[in-house]
Amino acid sequence: MAMLYPLLVRRLGGFLWPALLVLGLSPRAEAGPYSALVVEVESDRVLYQQNPDELRHPASLTKMMTLYLMFEALSQGRISLTDTMVASAHAVSKPPSRLGLKAGETLTVEDGILGLVTQSANDAATVIAETLGGTEPAFAEMMTQKARQLGMNSTVFRNAQGLPDPDQWTTAWDMYRLGKALIKNFPIYYTYFSRESFWFKGHEFHNHNHLLGKCEGVDGIKTGFINSSGFNLVASAKRNGVRLVGVVFGGPSHARRDAHMREILEDGFAQLEGREPSVHLASFDAPAIAKPLMLASAGSVNELSSARPPRHHAAKPVKAPPHKEAAKPAHTRDAPANRHAHAPAKSAAHTHEAHNSGKPAKSSAAASHHAAAKQTPAHAAPAHDKHHGKSSSGH
């Protein structure tokens, strides 16, 4: 039966998902390489780390930078929360997760923000990119340039959503720097990441960050998934005035990723109370089975492969962050002059909850790109949109 996968991919194209369902098959969600990091924000004290400088595909963690640039535009008065944005044919062609926009439809800036933080909507992310950058490739170059300003020297962005691209890379350290910059530079807009759900055109959308309300102090920020990276999460928790930011790459399911994040955050807070660090075993040893998306795009499953062998990762003793001089974002350069000018609007329409249970299709990671990605110039921008029709979700 496994031999049917490549045949289906080649022959069925846009009808791949229905065919898989008829045959009773589900694309496998294979965990990517594991890496993780927990850091106390004010001191940059490292409380846990495992492969934090190794390159990983960011998946929908990419949307953190898309939102950073939107928050910056809001703080500088270049755009307002009530401004409307028009969805292009290019934007609505993106695979799930999405809001289901149609070409020519409009959405407000605030709805676009909420679409990213809850539904991790790829169509909304592309609308934001085209609104701020003119084209998605131009916006991706803006994203990479901003990454350099924030000290994210190992990160290269090629699109606004995190859809699979072999040249789009980051590290756990860089995602920590971005999370910290969002918290520090845009404290008002950061509160959007705690929104558990919102309504859009009669539909409810839940936040994919399942630690909200379930892990003490967690108030954001972003999930991500593609098969080449596994289930990723950047989470922040604040207790008794102390804030930690954690990063996990490579979970085989959102549940096991979330459980591991909870464990290393709890241990981080325990260390701050004087306890010895625990030794954590991230036993991501079996790929999960992903449920197919009901609205999966054409050709969204084209890199199905067999499961990887078990991987067990024990925590390394940590004393201080590597490259500490780059760990702090350039607050003075990127902090807005009027960061409180546009407080997030609150309305009854945003108090309901929804659930998006779809899982995206599979994509692959090429470890051979690791060295090449490190040498990608900071100013490099794609000559065209490298979307290959592979799904990406914020789970």
pLDDT value of position 85:
98
Do residues 330 and 51 make contact, with C-beta atoms less than 8 angstroms apart? no
The confidence score (pLDDT) of residue 393 equals: 55
Residue span of the structural domain in which 114 resides: 27-296+306-332
CATH of the domain at 51: 3.40.710.10
Q: How far apart are CA 251 and CA 254, in angstroms?
A: 7
Nearest CA-CA partner of 27 in 283, 285, 363: 363
pLDDT of residue 112: 98
Distance separating alpha carbons of residues 392 and 225, to the nearest angstrom: 6
- Tokens representing 262 are 């909870």
For residue 20 the two structure tokens come to 């898989």
Helix (H, G, I), strand (E, B) or coil at 246: strand
Spatial distance between the Cα atoms of 337 and 304, rounded to a whole number of angstroms: 48
Instruction: Calculate the dihedral angle through the C-alpha atoms of 153, 128, 293, 349, rounding to the nearest 10 degrees.
Output: 120
Tell me if residue 137 falls in helix, strand or coil: helix
Domains identified in the chain, total number: 1
Q: Rounded to 5 degrees, what angle do the CA atoms 203, 102, 164 make?
A: 90
Whether residue 379 lies inside any domain: the answer is no
For residue 223, give the nearest of 37, 393, 67 by alpha carbon.
393
- Domain assignment present for 222: yes
The secondary structure of residue 115, as a DSSP letter, is: I
Give residue 212's Cα distance to chain centre: 16
DSSP state of 277: P
Largest Cα separation within the chain, whole Å, is 60
Catalytic positions, written as ranges = 60, 63, 120
Domain presence at residue 120: yes
**For residue 203, how many other CB atoms are within 10 A of its CB?**
12
Residue 156 lies in a domain: yes
Question: Which residue stretches of 25-85 are H helix?
Answer: 63-75
Domain assignment present for 280: yes
Q: What is the pTM of this model?
A: 0.69
Alpha-carbon separation of residue 232 from 83, 98, 149, 392 (angstroms): 31, 18, 24, 12
What distance lies between CA 148 and its chain's CA centroid? 18
pLDDT computed for residue 278 by the predictor: 83
Quote the pLDDT of residue 261.
Answer: 97
| Residues 71/182, Cβ–Cβ less than 8 Å | yes
Tens-binned pLDDT, residue by residue, of the chain (395 aa): 333 333 332 233 333 333 332 333 333 444 579 999 999 999 999 999 999 999 999 999 999 999 999 999 999 999 999 999 999 999 999 999 999 999 999 999 999 999 999 999 999 999 999 999 999 999 999 999 999 999 999 999 999 999 999 999 999 999 999 999 999 999 999 999 999 999 999 999 999 999 999 999 999 999 999 999 999 999 999 999 999 999 999 999 999 999 999 999 999 999 999 999 986 666 564 433 333 332 222 223 222 222 333 333 444 444 444 444 434 333 333 333 333 334 444 433 333 333 333 333 333 333 333 333 333 333 333 333 333 334 455 66
Position 136 scores a pLDDT of: 98
> Does residue 341 sit within a domain?
no
Q: Is residue 369 part of a domain?
A: no
Q: Is residue 378 part of a domain?
A: no
